[in-house]
Amino acid sequence: MLIKSKPDILPSEITPESVFHDRRRFLASSLSAAFGVAAAGLPGLSGAAAGDGLRARAPEDLARSAPAQWWNAKFENISPAAHEGGFYTAEALTPYRDVISYNNFYEFGMDKGDPIANSKQFKVDPWSVSIEGEVEKPGVYTLEDILKPHDLEERIYRLRCVERWSMVIPWVGFSLADLIKRFQPTSKAKYVEFLTLFDPSSMAGQRARFTTIDWPYREALRMDEAMNPLTLLAVGVYGNFLPPQNGAPIRLVVPWKYGFKSIKSIVKIRFREQEPATSWNMLAPQEYGFYANVNPDVHHPRWRQDMETRLPQTLLSSSRIPTQLFNGYAEQVASLYKGMDLTKNY
């Protein structure tokens, strides 16, 4: 397969949005320097001290408080994204407000605005994750145990939804690979399976009478996909704690695959020898395969996949851009699929 190598940053992609943000941050730091106060009251201002090196912080008025005390310490030191290796893009960020209010999370409802509206009471503390299957150290771990040894970093990824829209999101998390190594999968572990919480009492979508999803939602990766450094376990977004509608407290982010692979609110990670069933593949196997790699050449019966709409857009300024193979991460992941027919293994 021929992979065109492209520079990560195109001058044309450095848009007013990011300039605007930096300007604001600059303004904040010079203001606080001048007056010796934290200029925390300014609307939309970055929550953290300027100069922490992060690309973006949730605006103060929308930022979340920690689900539990120990989260604060965890979020104090977030390292900025490395600029090489696909961990960073200089493309304009999708504003925080849109990232947290335009979601597909059917556990909380079908419409894009349902998850934020219906997840207000969602409890993410206490939370535990069960590690099962072909692994040396199975067990049920508290989230604190899961996160303890890992340092958090910012990752700026493109997110491409199969519904033909895309965003650019600054996640906070750590490589899934680092977690997997801790639990020591056996030689039989060929796949990693993930399950979302099943709790109809707090997740209205799971109570829906005419739903065709066989809850809980499940996803899976091949072991080498899971071990790829790009594969992220996210616990935050915009330097802040992940809101429920974005998959709190812990979710997967696989930037070269369609968004539905990036399963949210994970309670179970199972190492398996056989390819696990995945929710969308179970629902519509002719539309959604196991791999679900972003691919402009694989036809989909509902949406064109050769283009995408970068959100936000307005009616008068369309932001339609061509979709790239592996969502632009071919350099990092194409080797995983060497020799595979991607039109058959979609």
Partner 1 sequence: MRLATALRWIIFGMSLLPFIVLTLGAVNNSLGPDPADTLIQETGEWTFRFLLLSLSITPLRNLGAGPRVFPYRRTFGLFALFYASLHFLIYLLFLLQLRWSEISEDILERPYITVGFTAYLILVLLGVTSVKRMMRRLGRYWKPLHKLVYLVNILALIHLSWILRTDLTEAVIYASILLPLLAYRVYKYYIGKTSRQFHSSTSS
Q: How far is CA 113 from CA 58, 81, 91, 251, 301, in A?
A: 19, 30, 25, 19, 25
Minimum Å distance from CB 243 to partner 1? 16
Nearer to partner 1, 107 or 154 (CB): 107
For 185, the 3-state DSSP assignment is strand
Apex 325 CA angle, 320 and 330, nearest 5? 130
Taking residue 139's Cβ as centre, other Cβ atoms within 10 Å add up to 12
Instruction: Tell me whether residue 188 or residue 320 sits nearer to partner 1 (CB atom).
Output: 320
Task: Give the integer Cα–Cα distance in Å for 201 and 179.
Answer: 30
CB of 215 to partner 1, least distance (A): 11
User: Least Å distance between CB 147 and partner 1?
Assistant: 30
Give the separation between CA 71 and CA 237, rounded to whole angstroms: 14
Cα–Cα distance measured from residue 171 to residue 246, given in angstroms and rounded to the nearest whole number: 11
Q: Which residues bind partner 1 (CB under 8 A)?
A: 94, 98, 101-102, 106, 110, 112-113, 165, 205, 208-213, 283-284, 299, 301-302, 304, 309, 311-315, 318, 320
Smaller CB separation from partner 1, 134 or 308: 308
Question: How many other β-carbons are positioned within 10 Å of the β-carbon of residue 62?
Answer: 15
Which CB, 208 or 336, lies closer to partner 1?
A: 208
Rounded Cα distance between 81 and 124, Å, is 26
The least CB distance from residue 213 to partner 1, in Å, is: 5
Closest CB 310 distance from partner 1, rounded Å: 10
Q: At its nearest, how many Å lie between partner 1 and the CB of residue 162?
A: 11
Compare residues 63 and 213 and give the one whose CB is closer to partner 1: 213
Least Å distance between CB 205 and partner 1? 7
Is residue 166 a contact partner of residue 311, using CB atoms and an 8 Å limit? Answer: yes
Which token pair is 45? Answer: 């201002």
Distance (Å, rounded) from C-alpha 87 to C-alpha 155? 5
Strands 266-272, 128-133: pairing is parallel
What are the beta bridge partners of residue 308? 321
For partner 1, which is the closer residue by CB, 80 or 312?
A: 312
Residue 206, helix vs strand vs coil = helix
Q: Are 292 and 303 in contact (CB under 8 A)?
A: no
The residue among 19 and 283 lying less far from partner 1, judged by its C-beta, is 283
CB 97 to partner 1: min, Å: 8
121 vs 314 by CB, closer to partner 1: 314
